[in-house]
Structure 1
Amino acid sequence: MEKECGRLQRIAQELHREIAVILQSEIRDPRLNIMVTVSGVDVSRDLSHAKVFVTFLNEKEDVQIQMRLLVLSKVSGYIRTLLSKVMTLRVIPRLTFCHDNSLIEGERMSSLISSLVTLDTHRRALAEDKMEEGHLNS
């Protein structure tokens, strides 16, 4: 069982690497005129399916993201053909492309933390000013 998990991880890493290369060098669709980054690949236990997580550089509009995912799903057969030429698997998994929003979520969390730190600093400064006024009036 342990060996199987290691094998799945190695296959997922190899798929990750090869799909990234294919997307950068082989796919010439004008609708994908933006940098596509493969952030991860999850492979099913039987190697029949692979979920490919992608991000698009500076793309935040949901409509554009969905359109680009649709394009990727339409070229997934071609990507599988190219994968079969470079990988020595009996069956190349069917590819499902999903948007990885962890980068956007990370940016959102970072901005929330920054705004809370700024707010806390401002409140502390106001509290210190009030304490100084109280000592001066005494």
Structure 2
Amino acid sequence: MAFNRTVRLSEEIRKILSEIIQNNLKDPRIPILTTVTRVDVTRDLRYAKAYISVFGEKEDKVKCIEGLRSASGYIRREVGSRIKVRYTPEILFEIDESLEHGLHINKILSDINKGE
């Protein structure tokens, strides 16, 4: 029962975070091509880890995370105003490297296929 609640809350927070990042944040460190790929909420609903995908160089990714962390108070307040839970989870931002990893594997596989 609690598992379903955390999954639903994670998905709802992911949608809200995406909308806030795209429409409300004006920080120049956060590029337009910033995507919230996944959100994991802890079982006690106190913390939410948001995985962020940013297209660009490593430096751009670091700056984006810095911008999101500096706006975390505002983001948490916005999330809290849009969902009704007893405690609004503290949002922790992490870079999601899975897209780049997938592209790297895809490139390796295509190189292997070209060699045959």
Shift of 1:85: 1.0
Pairwise CA RMSD of aligned residues? Answer: 0.9
Q: 5 Å matches for 1:59-78? A: 59=56, 61-78=57-74
Shift of 1:33: 3.5
- Which residue number corresponds to residue 85 of structure 1? 81
SS where residue 90 of structure 1 aligns?
coil
- Which residue number corresponds to residue 114 of structure 1? 110
CA distance in 2, matches of 1:105, 1:68: 19
CA distance in 2, matches of 1:31, 1:6: 35
Q: 5 Å matches for 1:1-138? A: 3-56=1-54, 58-59=55-56, 61-120=57-116
Shift of 1:70: 1.1
Normalised by the length of structure 1, the TM-score is 0.81
CA distance in 2, matches of 1:10, 1:32: 27
Higher RCO (CA 8 Å, separation ≥ 6 residues): 2
CA distance in 1, matches of 2:31, 2:99: 20
Gaps of 5+ in 2: none
Normalised by the length of structure 2, the TM-score is 0.95
Give structure 1 regions of 4+ aligned residues with deviation exceeding 3 angstroms: none
Shift of 1:35: 2.0
Encode CA deviations 1:10-68: one digit per residue, 9 max, x unaligned. Answer: 00000011111111111111222332110000011101111000111x31x22221121
- Look up the equivalent residue of 2:70 and give its one-letter code: K
CA distance in 2, matches of 1:34, 1:21: 12
Gaps of 5+ in 1: 121-138
